[in-house]
Structure 1
Amino acid sequence: MSTVLARQLGGQLLAFREAAGLNQAQAADALSAQAAKVAKMERGWVPFRDPDVVALCRLYEVEDPQVVQGLLRLAKLDRERRRAKGWWVSSLTAGNLREYIAMEDVAIKVRTWQLALIPGLFQTPEYMRALAVAAVSPDEIDEVERIVDVRVRRQHRLGGSSPLRVHAVIWEAALRQMIGGPQVMRQQLEHLRELAERPTIDVQVLPFRAGVHSCGGGSFNILTFAEEGATDVVHMDGLRTTNWVEGVEESASYTELFARTCAMSLSPYDSMRFLESVAKGMNE
């Protein structure tokens, strides 16, 4: 199975191989393997053994110890993610969601930009249920509670001894869209304000009055990992699907985009006051 982290590592090794002017067969000789193994490694289809990473680095004349160690850390993180036997394995049927939640489980920080919805990690069950009911077909109504249960369990990462750090920037439209009715939205906004008081959570609001902004193309999340060799990964999160954006340059472009949007948004303190004002304006 291809994974995001393995594709990162495979892509870096592919770049080193091409820079060295070698083909897959020559790389395979260094591993006493077939060229098909190198092809699978470069596409992220298989976990990486440390001796293979070291052998390829030696062949490609990658001599910087920090670069080699970064690749080894990335390989280790991918192996740990593949071995993970978390609750999501049995709770979900969609492989893309299993991959995202496993990644979220080993991340140390998430930066999220949301255009139309409250971030999933911050949603109340009532808000989730209203979204799920609108998203599923009548013959899938039994799926609603399963979807809610999955998202509630994801929120456990916000607590515990090593809580996930979250920096959320939310467009004003997401705060005013009447999902589930006034009472559900008022409770949702009050819950969001309470979460924003935690030291591990930052919430900023991008108000309408800020004008044209750079993030109109869609919502996204940036996941950061502890390992220095693990490049940030970006994903677009739907109700039950996930699309990945990979690569160092692509990740850096989203990081820059997020930073520009933060600069246009209200400060965390002013955002809390803004949330209070919107919540008070919710009428039955």
Structure 2
Amino acid sequence: MPKDFRATTLERAIGRQLAGWRNERELSLAEAGQRVGFSSAKLSTMENAVQPSAPVDIMALGYVYKVPTAEWQAVVLRAQHAEQARASAFHIAMNFDPAADFAELVFEATLLRVFTTDLVPTIFQLPGYTTAAMQTDNPVRTARTAMAREAWTARLGDKDPLTVQAVFPEAVLWQMVGGPRVTKAQLLHLIEVSEHPAVTVQVVPHGAGAYPAMGSPFTLLSFPHRQHNDVAYLETFLKSEYIEDPALTEQCRRRFEALQQLALDSDESLELIAEAASLADPANLAAIGAH
């Protein structure tokens, strides 16, 4: 294994697939390794993507696990592509959709730093808010948002829960997504999740003026393994992508830290969120309209 090996997200997805095959057959690492002629250590490093998975080794696992031919061949093709991409230092993931994979990274991460510009961060969104934001015409994106939210919710009860640091501009609080009732429920939920010790929410106030990464939302994920670099996740209504170049993810980290310095602290942010939730109450809106 190269000393400086860093697994790409494609290689990590391949590792999860290999582990899934073994778990479906209820085999331990030792049992599976014995069947295929691998050591438990080698199989573990393949599943955890701490070394590249050779296409021939994936083929052997597919045969031993009696995986349908078309299924293991698809994974072999991905491994071949990953191998070629690594050799050429060029990575375009064939048949690999970052938006579909994102929830898996949420499960694996230790730290998630998210900056949004128009909406409450995905993992904090209530279903009604998500549906309204997607204009009900994008069921695939709605489902993927739900997967990311569920992945984060599942981590809340962990011994070492995922640490989440979120920053967004004040305009997010005043955007009536789905109407006053949906917006108020969402803001109250945001206050609730902010009380969790692993969650930090900060708001960039209107008065701050221009700020770093303005108009460019991103999510930056960090992981426990040395072989897994930070990954930045970017999403638009057209496509999603992972950024894995360390120089680029470092730019994301610096901008996020600058946003944190510029934003209100947690207590001040919660006060502002509570104020927005109060004003989003339909009764208050009606009273304001009457005057």
- Look up the SS of the partner of 1:6 in the other structure: coil
Task: Name the residue aligned to 1:186.
Answer: 184
1:203-246 CA-partner distances (Å, limit 9, x unpaired):
00001111111111410000000113322111113468421122
The unaligned stretches of length 5 or more in structure 2 are: 1-5, 16-43, 59-94, 283-291
- Note if 1:121 corresponds to 2:123: yes
Task: Name the residue aligned to 1:216.
Answer: 214
Kindly state the Cα deviation for residue 153 of structure 1 after the two structures are TM-superposed.
2.3
Kindly state the Cα deviation for residue 148 of structure 1 after the two structures are TM-superposed.
6.2
Contact 1:128–1:148 at 8 Å: present in 2 too? yes
Q: Which residue of 125, 131, 134 corresponds with 1:132?
A: 134
Contact 2:50–2:227 at 8 Å: present in 1 too? no
Mapping of residues 56-75 of structure 1, within 5 Å: none
Taking a change above 3 Å as real, the CA distance of residues 180 and 145 of structure 1, as seen in their structure-2 partners, is same
2:235, 2:105 → 1: CA distance?
A: 13
1:96-128 CA-partner distances (Å, limit 9, x unpaired):
223222222111110000100100110111101
1:143-177 CA-partner distances (Å, limit 9, x unpaired):
58745643442332442223211000011111111
Equivalent residue letter for 2:110: I
Task: Name the residue aligned to 1:78.
Answer: 49
2:269, 2:198 → 1: CA distance?
A: 16
Taking a change above 3 Å as real, the CA distance of residues 6 and 188 of structure 1, as seen in their structure-2 partners, is same
Mapping of residues 17-56 of structure 1, within 5 Å: none
- Note if 1:227 corresponds to 2:207: no
Task: Name the residue aligned to 1:250.
Answer: 248
- Look up the SS of the partner of 1:78 in the other structure: coil
Contact 2:98–2:240 at 8 Å: present in 1 too? yes
Contact 1:74–1:227 at 8 Å: present in 2 too? no
Equivalent residue letter for 2:183: M
Task: Name the residue aligned to 1:65.
Answer: none
2:141, 2:252 → 1: CA distance?
A: 32
Count of residues in correspondence between the two structures: 208
- Look up the SS of the partner of 2:134 in the other structure: helix
- Look up the SS of the partner of 2:49 in the other structure: helix
Task: Name the residue aligned to 2:153.
Answer: 156
Task: Name the residue aligned to 1:169.
Answer: 167
1:101, 1:107 → 2: CA distance?
A: 10
2:191, 2:206 → 1: CA distance?
A: 19
Question: Once the two structures are aligned, what percentage of the paired residues are identical?
Answer: 24
Taking a change above 3 Å as real, the CA distance of residues 143 and 244 of structure 1, as seen in their structure-2 partners, is closer
1:74, 1:168 → 2: CA distance?
A: 33
Kindly state the Cα deviation for residue 190 of structure 1 after the two structures are TM-superposed.
0.6
Q: State the TM-score, normalizing by the size of structure 1.
A: 0.64
Task: Name the residue aligned to 1:275.
Answer: 273
Task: Name the residue aligned to 1:259.
Answer: 257
2:242, 2:190 → 1: CA distance?
A: 26
2:46, 2:141 → 1: CA distance?
A: 37
